[in-house]
Amino acid sequence: MTELGGFQDRVARVDLSDGSVAYESIDDEDARKYIGARGLGVKYVFEQGPDVDPLGPENLLAFMNGPLSGTQVTMSGRIAVCTKSPLTGTVTDSHHGGWSGARLKWAGFDGLLFEGEADEPVYAVVEDGELELRDASHLWGNGVHETRDTIEEEVDGSYGKNLSIMAIGPGGENEVKYACIINEDDRASGRGGTGCVMGSKNLKAIVIKSTTKMPQPADPETFKEGHQQAMQAITESDVTAPNEGGLSMYGTNVLMNIGEEMDGLPTKNGRYTSTEAMRDAEGADIDAERVSGENVRENILVDEPTCHSCPVACKKEVEVQTMHKGEEMNVRMESYEYESAYALGPNSGHTDRDAVALMIDRCNDMGIDTIETGNMMAMAMEMSEEGKLEEGDLEWGDAETMVDMIERIGRREDDLADLLAEGPRRVADRKEAHDNSLAVKGQTIAAYDPRCMKGMGIGYATSNRGACHLRGYTPAAEILGIPEKVDPYEWEGKGELTAAFQDLHAISDSFDICKFNAFAEGIEEYVLQYNGMTGLDVGEDELMQAGERVYNLERYYNNLVGFDGADDSLPARFLEGGIPGQGASEGEYCELEEMKAEYYDHRGWVDGVVPDEKLEELEIDIGPGTGVSAGDSPAPADD
């Protein structure tokens, strides 16, 4: 039991196999060592054991908030979903914003743990410290949007006021390996296949009803000091200042033109580092500006909704009217994001702004990850060009077919869609197409080219959940100069920089607050707000060690599964120089081996494996159920 401020000290453990619900306290030592949200969620998954089948009933699916979730802390509306990934085989955590994290806290919970598999589809209703399972058979097969509308009528709530719904679409039901969980229409726990795990358990949705019962700080004076300091930093930052440009004006898609100008925007499955280079080389009608945040704001923006306690309002709701196969389509969806636009646009060989909006909306309704979906189609386009797909072809930049392919993948409607639903690693294995994959550990890269931003190269390679920009966001320093400007093309120092960002983001993910805080705040503001809310008296070094502990626990889990330094790799095209006509990126490649050596040395790892002395230094317990002792040689990773 923990008496720390910010916690409700209540977790629901649900066995879907028999419908039983048990309520647990939070272990005080775990709360102090792993903070909450991501850290505690990964600890629960670790204790379940690394040998579980990701799609088996024994795999744990943990929905966790943190001690700062649902408080006055800015951008504290996030929630972590932790499990063993069916896409990568690693431990994974995937977060979404909106209001469900805050409402889960207000409804009396720190977390919901689901194991087992229901005989028939169910959904969970959470209210006033209790969880109830209800029949969802009538919802199975429905898209996320229809599911939300139906549930809202059934539970007598007011969506957007006291009601949050986290649901899967057909993608999760059909176990698309990169299926996601959609919250409030368009906020996605996108990466790692969390929705696939939810579908394997026959869990259609989680419904949270609550009034606003915001936790109060245990140490009000310390919290007030930290909160005021944080608010000042946010309002003075060029990146986060409300209504002053950056994220507030253009959302995450403010990066589209910046990435293009830096020659750091992967285009046409990473063959090029900008749309300009593709245009010059092939004469293609492609231009990143058409799908940029500036273009979106000027032409199709209709609203700027926000998440709990967020002054930045980075979400850019759009409405488009476009033609699809001769039919006029009207689409309104919550946010036109940079990563989604990159994968479904330039990396797939086109920059049709309105078609990208339609694709994002389709992905959200099907409940599949926009990044993985776009990159899978780009991979298929390259494979088609090389004659590797007997199941059917996709042509570069064929936006019309891409729109339909999203639903085909979500429902596994045909041989090609069924193949692509398996994710890049399985497609590459079955088709001898590893050269066509942009994946690391089975998950594809985001919109930052590691030949331009070397920090993202080592970041992708050493991410515990497969290629990911959000484990350690080095573009903050390489693009934005936060905390200080570093040369994006210089590899030296990037191993240490990446590890620092990884540990810092493990802290914010465990609080659980938005990473955009880190564009303005630093460890000082984190310490003051954390101490003020919980009543603890930790220092900066102690809090950073907690972030390091979370990252090492995840790495150790992956070691037990079978991952080591050989898996800290990058697609071959990023490791080879000689890119022609790429501006600043011409001839560049990612010096991965040099950065790995620097990174491992800083981490204290041996060839990507956490040694016993590091586990002891960080006080990481082996935990029950692993069946492996510290120092044992890991077995090969299972597909």
Domain that holds residue 353: 267-437
* Residue 389 lies inside a defined structural domain of this protein: yes
Tokens of 118: 């229901």
Structure tokens at 339: 């990563």
* Contact between 449 and 273 (Cβ < 8 Å): yes
In this predicted structure, the answer to whether residue 345 has a pLDDT above a threshold of 60 is: yes
So what's the pLDDT on residue 203? 98
Mean pLDDT in residue range 191-199: 98
Q: For 208-240, what is each residue's pLDDT tens digit?
A: 999 888 999 999 999 999 999 999 999 999 999
How far is Cα 338 from Cα 311, in angstroms, rounded to an integer?
20
Is there a single domain that holds both residue 397 and residue 522? no
* Cβ atoms within 10 Å of 331's Cβ, excluding its own: 18
| % of the chain exceeding 90 in pLDDT | 91
How distant, in Å, are the alpha carbons of 46, 92, 495, 606 from that of 621?
10, 19, 26, 19
> Domain total for the chain?
3
- Indicate whether 465 pLDDT > 90: yes
DSSP string, 450-498: TTT-HHHHHHHHH-BTBS-SSSS-THHHHTS-SSS---TT--TTHHHHH
Judge if 279 and 371 occupy the same domain.
yes
Residue at a domain's end among 437, 466, 492: 437
Q: Over 80: is that where the pLDDT of 158 sits?
A: no
| Residue in 33, 84, 248, 31 with CA at minimum distance from that of residue 626 | 84
464/393 same-domain check: no
Looking at the fold, whether 174 and 297 belong to one and the same domain comes out as no
Note the pLDDT tens digit of each residue in 383-413.
999 999 999 999 999 999 999 999 999 999 9
Of 376, 408, 437, the position where a domain reaches its end is: 437
**Distance separating alpha carbons of residues 533 and 214, to the nearest angstrom:** 11
Q: Given this model, what pLDDT does residue 577 score?
A: 77
pLDDT for the residue numbered 436: 98
Residues 174 and 28 in one domain: yes
pLDDT, average across residues 151-169: 86
Contact 19, 57 (CB under 8 A): no
Question: Across the chain, what does the average pLDDT equal?
Answer: 94
Structure confidence by residue, pLDDT tens digits, 575-633: 987 776 667 888 899 999 999 999 999 999 999 999 999 999 999 986 544 444 444 43
Q: Which amino acid does the sequence have at 473? A: Y
* Residues 175 and 93: beta-carbon distance below 8 Å: no
Q: Would you say residue 402 lies in a domain?
A: yes
At 68, the pLDDT band (50, 70, 90 cuts) reads: very high
Both 41 and 102 in one domain: the answer is yes
Confidence of residue 638 (pLDDT cuts 50, 70, 90): very low
Q: Are residues 95 and 40 in the same domain?
A: yes
The residue with greater pLDDT, 159 or 441, is 441
Q: How many CB atoms lie within 10 A of CB 510?
A: 28
Instruction: Give me 311's structure tokens.
Output: 């002054």
> Mean pLDDT, to the nearest integer, of 432-447?
98
List Cβ neighbours of 327 (8 Å cut-off, separation of 6 or more).
none
Interatomic CA distance for residues 460 and 442, integer angstroms: 11
Counts of helices then strands in the chain (DSSP H, E): 24, 17
pTM beyond cutoff 0.85: yes
pLDDT digits (tens, 9 = 90+) for 242-251: 988 899 999 9
Instruction: Name the percent of the chain lying above pLDDT 70.
Output: 96
- Residue 401 has a pLDDT of 97
Residue 637: pLDDT over 80: no
- Specify the pLDDT at position 630: 42
In whole angstroms, give the CA distance from residue 185 to residue 191: 17
Contact between 220 and 532 under an 8 Å Cβ cutoff? The reply is yes
The CB density around residue 275, as the number of other CB atoms within 10 Å, is 27
Q: Which helix (H) or strand (E) holds 57?
A: none
Q: What is the DSSP string of 92-119?
A: EEEEE-SSHHHHHHHTT-SEEEEES--S
Which backbone phi and psi does 8 adopt, to 5 degrees? -90, -10
Sign of the C-alpha dihedral computed for residues 156, 157, 163 and 167 taken in this order: positive
| Residue 445 φ/ψ, nearest 5 degrees | -70, 165
Q: Are residue 101 and residue 194 in the same domain, yes or no? A: yes
Question: If you average pLDDT over residues 280-301, what whole number do you get?
Answer: 97
* 638 domain residue, yes or no: no
Report the pLDDT value the prediction gives residue 636, as an integer from 0 to 100.
33
Q: Is 105 part of any domain?
A: yes
Does the residue 634 lie in any domain? no
- What CATH number has the domain bearing residue 25? 3.60.9.10
* Cis preceding-peptide flag for 568 (omega within 30 of 0): no
What span, in angstroms and rounded, lies between the C-alpha atoms of 297 and 292? 9
Please, are residues 94 and 372 in contact by the beta-carbon 8 Å criterion?
no
126 and 273, same domain (yes or no): no
> Which one, of 65, 73, 75, lies nearest residue 307 by Cα?
75
621 contact partners, CB below 8 Å, separation of at least 6: none
For residue 585, the model assigns a pLDDT of 83
The order of strands in the sheet holding 301-303 is 301-303, 317-324, 327-333
354 occurs within a structural domain: yes
Q: DSSP assignment, residue 177? A: T
Of 209, 232, 257, the one marking the end of a domain is: 209
Span 82-137, pLDDT tens digits:
999 999 999 999 999 999 999 999 999 999 999 999 999 999 999 999 999 999 99
Residue 505 pLDDT exceeds 50: yes
Residue 63, strand partner residues: 81, 112
432 and 458 in a single domain? The answer is no
Model confidence at 160, pLDDT cuts 50, 70, 90, reads: low
What CATH number is associated with residue 433? 1.10.569.10
Token pair 């176990």 is found at: 175
Domain membership flag for residue 462:
yes
The answer as to whether 631 is a domain residue is no
Cis? peptide before 483, omega within 30° of 0:
yes
From 397, 466, 531, select the one nearest 523 (Cα to Cα): 531
Structure tokens given for 393: 């072809």
What is the pLDDT at residue 159? 57
Q: Residue 582 maps to which CATH number? A: 1.10.599.10
What is the band of 454 on the pLDDT scale with cuts at 50, 70, 90?
A: very high
Model pLDDT, residue 26? 97
Statement to judge: residues 398 and 472 lie in one domain: no
Residues 393 and 532 placed together within one structural domain of the fold: no
pLDDT value at position 631? 44
Element of type H or E holding 24: strand 20-24
